[in-house]
Structure 1
Amino acid sequence: MYPINVVNNVSWLATILGGEVGTLPATYLGLPLGAKSMSIDIWNNVIEKCEKKLARWKTQYLSMGGRLTLINSVLDALPTYMMSLFPIPPGVTKRLDSIRRKFLWQGNKEKKGFHLVKWKSVISGKKNGGLGIKNLNLQSKALQMKWLWKYANGNQLLWERVIEAKYILEDKWMTKEVTTPYGVSLWRSIRNLWDEVKNNSKVKVFDGRKTMFWK
């Protein structure tokens, strides 16, 4: 049980419910609970995991192809769980890009390796001449948009009903834009992407409950 502000008899309530009293911020299902969504500190665990992987790999002699495979299959996957809910701050992107870039070009060498291609090109898709290493900013944005897509498709799940009750529907697809400064930073950052999602989506009319085609 994590009380917000002052809660009377919280220990007694926790005993009745068979739980314990904790303090925020805390970790729940591997994600920070009650922390600022744009705080760099909540990403420290992800950065540490990447650095530990890197330290282990540096003891091995790997070709560039091998290093590229490890980046794509391991390093790119580590921040995905966090990015599925929290937008990645620029400082974290910069740090993770530095880790991946250094490992790609330098490997286990102590001396600085030559960066033969601009990082912007490296993180482009293979169809565009890149190496397919994920662009973390684009991946973070896509994962945030996924929540908007789920919400707009409206299965009336519990989290959707909570969002709707707190932020009020603007139309039949999305809540009103979040303008209040406190306690809503996570949904605000997601909601701010709605115009981009809407402008790149098509609506297929079925029973007309959510679509008015004459407007």
Structure 2
Amino acid sequence: MTSAAVMHGFVTGFTIGDPSRGIITLSHLLFADDTLIFYEVDQNQLRALKALLLCFEAASGLKVNFDKSELVPVENVSNTRQLASILGCKVAALPITYLGLPLGAATRASSIWDSVIEKIGRKLAG
């Protein structure tokens, strides 16, 4: 459903890559019950996303927990609270953790990886 929403222009995502090597549009990342959805700062896209999630609920019988969901602006967004109210979710800020990995942190700072290294070390030890 998310791919169809992107294909028909309801949700934009963002493009990554080099034109000479190929460009991909990244709109969402899914793993088990963790989901990241990327979209432009546009109320219409957010309303389309909300409609998509409500359709998912109706089709699957599962419930999206908007209370546990977060809107995370990547750059300076002046109407963040207004956008979050469309979804009925909280506002968070980068860096965040997704699947145990830091997102949006300064990748050159080795300290951001300390908790990941510790966790892997504990798993390997026993």
Q: What TM-score do the two structures reach when normalised by structure 1?
A: 0.23
Higher helix share: 1
Structure having the higher strand fraction is 2
Larger radius of gyration: 1
Q: State TM-score, norm by structure 2.
A: 0.36
